[in-house]
Amino acid sequence: MFSDTPVHIDYSPDVKGVEILSILKNIYAIAMGIVDAHYNSPNLRFLFLTKAFNEMKQILIRYGGQAETMFNYCGYGDFTLTALNDLSRNRTLGLLIGKGFFTDNISDKVVLEGKIAVNVFCDEISKSNSIHCNLPIIGELYELFNGEYKISEFVNRVLND
């Protein structure tokens, strides 16, 4: 059907993994936006991107997805598209947070899937163990959205965890 067209179909039998990754990409795009708002450093950007990728893979496996799904477009491709593209709503949220322009009423005007998903995932993860033990990025985002938080410490806290 799509032969000789510019349309490329990427397939994965890991339906659960694809669903999980479609949520996680939004969460981690917020974190990348925060990093990019604070620093203009390609080295830090890709260090953080790698940490986010590994953390997403841990969550994917924990909830029954297959590790190799991370390497399909629905994993690495969609995540990097969402996390590094300034047209992404969730990345833009991270940029706003990082620059100090975020207010809660922004959520009333724009659907921010990642902000909602942080609480859902963290509530589920915290039932089994501490969020911070091996998931520092999502743990820091959870704290950021649920109380007093000094945004200037976000990157250091994630990298030192």
Determine contact, residues 69/75, Cβ cutoff 8 Å.
Answer: yes
What φ, ψ does residue 104 adopt, rounded to 5°?
-60, -30
Just list the catalytic residues. 25
The dihedral of CA 147, 148, 154, 157: what is its sign? negative
